[in-house]
Amino acid sequence: MRRLILPAIVSAIAFVILCGLGIWQLERLYEKEALLKRIDQSLKTDTIAMPLEAEWPALKPDDYSYRKITVNGEFDHKHEAHLFGFIVTDSKGGSAPGYFVLTPLTLQDGSRVIVNRGFVPEALKAPEQRTLGLIEGQITIRGLMRMPERRGLFTPTDDLKKNIRFLRDPAAIAASFGFERVAPFIVDADSTPVPGRWPEGGHTVVSVPNNHLEYALTWFGLALVLVGVFTAFALKARKA
């Protein structure tokens, strides 16, 4: 029995950790389901007007993500940023690389909001290749509010010399251009046609992975396997 003390302690600790991870994944499951419900409600609610600058600090991403919005302003095409990405091109999952054009929209009070105007193929990255789409003057944009993305461990570093970004982050874009008074969210423009077609809006993918139940079952399953392995080990040690 003395030989089982250390393995029992180690197994008990591992069992608690595995169960804890399983419970954590269940908590994440409930949180994700609540988020998905909020997104579904946002897509079904009426379009809102652009929040006032004084309201920006109180905005919570989970509350405004995918809300339909309308905003009026004037594009600053000289400071458009290019976000590398792909769009789905067919029902079989085919995709094409290119860039999403992120352009500051200057509001009447002088503040700005970054607008994802839509996708352009790699050959049309340069604005001079799509001059018809460089809309001048006051314009009304309809689209969806998007929360900033967080840089992950494997997110490439932005290439500012080539004006290529890999992260949808309005604060980082504003800082690179020396802008202040920029909204903490991005607006994805809808599919309203643009002169010359490009940038092509309406490519927002409403997709939030929700695999937490599978992860929870995996952790609980490993905990049960651990119990089985220790039980077999204990029975074998007892007979020895």
Look up the pTM and report it: 0.72
Q: What is the pLDDT of residue 156?
A: 87
Residue 218 contacts residue 152 (beta carbons within 8 Å): no
Instruction: Give the chain's count of helices (H) and strands (E).
Output: 4, 8
- State the total domains in the chain: 2
88 and 26 in a single domain? The answer is: no
Side chain identity at 235, as an amino acid letter? L
Q: Among 43-47, 77-81, 229-233, where is mean pLDDT lowest? A: 43-47
In terms of Cβ atoms closer than 10 Å to its own Cβ (0-12, 13-18, 19+), residue 60 is exposed
Which residue has better confidence, 70 or 6?
Answer: 70
pLDDT at 1 > cutoff 70: no
Cross-strand partners of 120: 99
| Beta-strand pair 68-75/48-49 | parallel
In a domain, 46, yes or no: no
111 and 224 in a single domain? The answer is: no
In a domain, 41, yes or no: no
112 and 20 in a single domain? The answer is: no
Q: What is the pLDDT of residue 199?
A: 93
Average pLDDT over residues 62-79: 91
Q: Among 21-25, 33-37, 103-107, 116-120, where is mean pLDDT lowest? A: 33-37
pLDDT-based confidence at 76, cuts 50/70/90?
very high
pLDDT-based confidence at 107, cuts 50/70/90?
very high
In a domain, 24, yes or no: yes
pLDDT at 93 > cutoff 70: no
In a domain, 91, yes or no: yes
90 and 154 in a single domain? The answer is: yes
Residue 186 contacts residue 102 (beta carbons within 8 Å): yes
In a domain, 44, yes or no: no
Domain that holds residue 230: 2-31+212-239
pLDDT at 37 > cutoff 80: no
Average pLDDT over residues 163-183: 92
Cross-strand partners of 71: 141
In terms of Cβ atoms closer than 10 Å to its own Cβ (0-12, 13-18, 19+), residue 186 is buried
77 and 8 in a single domain? The answer is: no
In a domain, 207, yes or no: no
Q: What is the pLDDT of residue 17?
A: 93
Q: What is the pLDDT of residue 82?
A: 95
165 and 127 in a single domain? The answer is: yes
Going by C-alpha positions, the residue among 223, 224, 227, 221 that lies closest to residue 7 is 227
183 and 89 in a single domain? The answer is: yes
In terms of Cβ atoms closer than 10 Å to its own Cβ (0-12, 13-18, 19+), residue 187 is buried
Which residue has better confidence, 40 or 166?
Answer: 166
Q: What is the pLDDT of residue 126?
A: 93
pLDDT at 202 > cutoff 90: no
| Beta-strand pair 68-75/138-146 | antiparallel
pLDDT at 58 > cutoff 80: yes
Q: What is the pLDDT of residue 14?
A: 92
231 and 154 in a single domain? The answer is: no
In a domain, 47, yes or no: no
Side chain identity at 111, as an amino acid letter? S
232 and 183 in a single domain? The answer is: no
In a domain, 118, yes or no: yes
pLDDT at 120 > cutoff 80: yes
Going by C-alpha positions, the residue among 146, 131, 121 that lies closest to residue 200 is 121
In terms of Cβ atoms closer than 10 Å to its own Cβ (0-12, 13-18, 19+), residue 173 is buried
State the distance between the two ends of the chain, measured CA to CA, in whole angstroms. Answer: 11
